[in-house]
Amino acid sequence: MIQDVLQLAERYSPMHPSFSAAFAFLQKAIDSDLPVGRYDLDGTALYAFVQEYDGSESSDRFEGHENYIDIQFLLDGCERIEVAPVEACEELIPYDPEKDAAFYTCNDHKSVLRLERGEFAIFHPEDLHNPGLRCAEGGLIRKVVVKIRIS
């Protein structure tokens, strides 16, 4: 898991051939005030969702992916995301290849990160994450999730 600000995103571009396009889309999302919805950037290899919601107080439903890296970027608001290593968790819902997701419960070894406007987090398949948790100050969460196919 990586957390940083969009101004420094290019330092991560060498990690994957699609990262530069992903970060360019995030900048476009800031500049264009894109509406909520799905955006196909490169077919199934690179796509994004603009989302807007009220965060929840708590949840114990961590998600994990096998074929995609997530870049989660906060356009507005504040969001808490819990993170845990897959080996420290118990599977609740088995992997669904159609959705590229499995769901877990994680009682131990959880870390909490706080994303604020202009910050992003990169989650690789081994990084289970529980997004959508509101910060103490509450408020609407507006974010972009970019999905990047690993191979």
Both tokens of 13, joined, read 């571009």
Confidence of residue 11 (pLDDT cuts 50, 70, 90): very high
Q: Which two tokens stand for residue 43?
A: 């077919």
| pLDDT tens by residue, 115-133 | 999 999 999 998 999 999 9
Q: What angle do CA 140, 142, 143 make, to 5 degrees?
A: 145
**How many residues in total does the chain contain?**
151
Tokens 């961590």 sit at which residue? 62
Two tokens, residue 97: 């290849």
Domain 2-149 -> CATH class: mainly beta
What are the φ/ψ torsions at residue 21 (nearest 5 degrees)?
A: -65, -40
Distance from C-alpha of 120 to C-alpha of 111, rounded to nearest angstrom? 16
pTM of the model: 0.94
Q: What is the pLDDT of residue 149?
A: 96
Segment 128-142 shows an average pLDDT of 94
The domain segmentation of the chain, as residue ranges, is: 2-149
CA distance 1 to 15: 13
- Per residue in 32-68, pLDDT (tens digit) is 989 999 999 987 899 999 999 999 888 889 999 999 9
Please give the Cα distance from 59 to 103 (Å, whole number): 12
For 87-106, what is each residue's pLDDT tens digit? 999 999 999 999 999 999 99
Q: What is the DSSP letter of 19?
A: H
- How many whole angstroms separate alpha carbon 75 and alpha carbon 73? 6
What's the rounded Cα separation, in Å, for the pair 124 and 150?
A: 9
Residue 85: pLDDT band with limits 50, 70, 90: very high
